[in-house]
Amino acid sequence: MLLGELSDELGSRTRALETLKWLFAQRPLPTSLPDAVPGVSQKVWSAFRARGGLTLPQVKERQVSSDGTTKYALDFGGTLVETVRIPTERRSTICVSSQAGCSRRCVFCATKELGFHRQLKAEEIVAQYLVARAEAPPEAPARNVVFMGMGEPFDNLDEVMRAVEVLTQAPAPQLKATSVTVSTSGVLPGMRRFLAESSASLALSLNATTDAQREQLMPHNKTWPIAALLGELQQDTRPHREHFIEYVLFDRVNDTDADADRLVALMKPLRARVNLIPHNPFPGSPLKAPSDERLRQFHARVVAKGQLCLVRWPRGREIAAACGQLVLANSAQGFETPRSAV
Ligand code: SAH
């Protein structure tokens, strides 16, 4: 709940603040609301508790990769969703899903194989963060959230905006708005509203430098072509804001010198950082990652022209937790109904 709503429910802002502080201090996570919360009168709390509970999923499966990246299969009343915790030395990043499945048809992404199952509610998105956060090592607290799990966040805009608000609200978890990044495959109306209303960060999955090339990879580029997407970023009037441009590299598809040069030219009018991601394989994928050498050459060429650019080497690849690999591959169940082939 947003602080204002919880204040209304509990009849005071102080009680709402105490409740949120309590919730985000719990480790391990409680499975239900407790009988009492310090700072909240028993009568008010009991009445509140009778009206609702915690939307926490069951952890169906937990896979840990050798680099510590952990993939969770979470069960929300029969709907399975994947969430990934990625630890680095000083902080952990939680990668959350915004939909169960996805209705976009990006040819390089495993999640499309699932089709679209349903939208996730804001509370289910926040719950993914809560579950993964509770298991982050103390020296690497969960300070970052990226909406780069299953689904297209801007096809579920209201719930995603609400989840961002909850994640950034005081007193807890109070993530910095710039530490919450919503990644989109380029759904223009959603981008427009997000840039106007949210102070969180935006990542655009560009993945190609010409419309012809991008349409092959991401069919909805026909509706929202590259110039329109980048034009929207250019018009972002929020001060000091940088955007992230994701560029997945595919062997012999978008990894030539000409691609690198076009990418730099497209970035020129923007305040943007480019993240290069080598394609992560999945069974049946028609595409391959370039060699590491080719990737380094591409990176060097972009950087040499003055463009900020990092290579995002994959984390958790061997447990299929890296970008574009989330497909519930190791779950016996797949989605709730008979889609057990998934
Ligand atoms: N739908 C959103 C968020 C989920 S995908 C989006 O498209 O941005 C998160 C990131 O993973 C995107 O940048 C996407 O381009 C990238 N991605 C998808 N499939 C991939 C794959 N097989 N290998 C590497 N990156 C992939």
pLDDT, position 329: 53
Question: Taking residues 145-162, what's their average pLDDT?
Answer: 98
pLDDT digits over 196-211, tens only?
999 999 999 999 999 9
Report the distance separating Cα 69 and Cα 65, nearest Å. Answer: 5
Question: Taking residues 230-251, what's their average pLDDT?
Answer: 94
Catalytic residue among 95, 109, 309, 323: 323
281 vs 187: which has the higher pLDDT: 187
**Would you state the structure tokens that stand for residue 125, as one six-digit string?**
């998105």
Task: For residue 333, name the pLDDT band (cuts at 50, 70, 90).
Answer: very low
The protein residue whose alpha carbon is closest to atom 11 in ligand 1 is 323
Place of tokens 């939909």: 99
Report the distance separating Cα 164 and Cα 264, nearest Å. Answer: 31
pLDDT above 60 for 185 = yes
**55 contacts 127 by C-beta, under 8 angstroms:** yes
Catalytic residue among 18, 82, 152, 159: 82
- The mean predicted confidence, pLDDT, of the chain is 92
Q: What does the radius of gyration of the chain's CA atoms come to, in whole angstroms? A: 21
Q: Mark whether 159 is an active-site residue.
A: no
Of ligand 1's atoms, which has the minimum distance to the CA of residue 207?
Answer: 15
pLDDT above 70 for 188 = yes
pLDDT above 90 for 332 = no
The protein residue whose alpha carbon is closest to atom 7 in ligand 1 is 185
pLDDT above 60 for 285 = yes
The protein residue whose alpha carbon is closest to atom 1 in ligand 1 is 152
Task: For residue 247, name the pLDDT band (cuts at 50, 70, 90).
Answer: very high
Which residues form ligand 1's pocket by a CB distance below 6 Å? 108-109, 148, 152, 183-185, 205, 207, 246, 248, 277, 279-280, 323-324
29 vs 12: which has the higher pLDDT: 12
pLDDT above 90 for 322 = no
How far is the CA of 1 from the CAs of 10, 15, 112, 124, 179, in angstroms? 12, 13, 31, 11, 20
pLDDT, position 170: 95
Of ligand 1's atoms, which has the minimum distance to the CA of residue 289?
Answer: 23
State phi, psi for 229 to the nearest 5 degrees.
Answer: -65, -50
pLDDT, position 314: 82
pLDDT, position 146: 98
Q: Mark whether 293 is an active-site residue.
A: no
Task: For residue 264, name the pLDDT band (cuts at 50, 70, 90).
Answer: very high
Strand order in the sheet with 272-278: 58-64, 70-76, 79-87, 92-95, 142-147, 180-184, 201-205, 243-249, 272-278, 309-311
- Proportion of the chain in helix, strand, coil states, percent, rounded to 5: 35, 20, 45
pLDDT, position 130: 95
Task: For residue 7, name the pLDDT band (cuts at 50, 70, 90).
Answer: very high
Q: Per-residue b/e over 60-72, b at no fewer than 16 CB within 10 Å? A: ebebebebebbbb
Question: Taking residues 51-64, what's their average pLDDT?
Answer: 90
**279 contacts 323 by C-beta, under 8 angstroms:** no
The protein residue whose alpha carbon is closest to atom 19 in ligand 1 is 324
Report the distance separating Cα 259 and Cα 92, nearest Å. Answer: 33
